[in-house]
Amino acid sequence: MNLYITFEDRSKIKKCFLNLRKYLIVNVDEVKESLGYDNQPLDNCKSFILTQEILEVIRSGSSGRKLLAIIYSNPSMNDEIIRELIKNTSGIKNIDNTVFLTEKGTYEEYFELFEEVMFFPTLKKVHIVECETFPVYWAEDEEELNKLNREIFLNQIT
């Protein structure tokens, strides 16, 4: 099972992908609201409780047999949050891979933290499993990246 990490909210995810009932979407703002922290600044204690609640949701979701993957959505992520999430979820037995899900050309500074990066589809709604993931080292070679962009564009219009 893959864990997809994205800055985008639930509405963006729903616009881009089909069949999301087989995916668990963990939205940090919704978890904060369920804990009663919606408009409060988070101190260290509240941050710890929020983190533990999110990890528990991911653990329980990963043990379910009906789910295909988990999508973690947090519009206010930063480098530290991403690193901690990857570290804390690497010990969960059913999480095989952590994939960064983003728009092409955005948040490129976080690519190095992931083994794979997946871009939101641009032309039509698709199943997540139909999307191609790309190794991050391709992003370093400008010519290879341009070739890859052309291939993706041609695949989307056919």
61: which 2 tokens? 């979701």
* Higher per-residue confidence, 113 vs 122: 113
* CATH number (domain holding residue 32): 3.40.50
Domain count, the chain: 1
Q: What whole-number distance in Å separates Cα of residue 102 and Cα of residue 99?
A: 10
What value does the mean pLDDT take over residues 38-64?
87
Q: Residue 45, Cβ neighbours under 10 Å: how many?
A: 8
Q: What whole-number distance in Å separates Cα of residue 5 and Cα of residue 101?
A: 6
pTM beyond 0.85: the answer is no
Task: Label residue 150 by pLDDT band (50, 70, 90).
Answer: low
Domain encompassing residue 42: 2-157
What value does the mean pLDDT take over residues 90-108?
88
> Strand runs (DSSP E) across 13-156, as ranges?
23-27, 69-73, 97-102, 116-119, 134-135
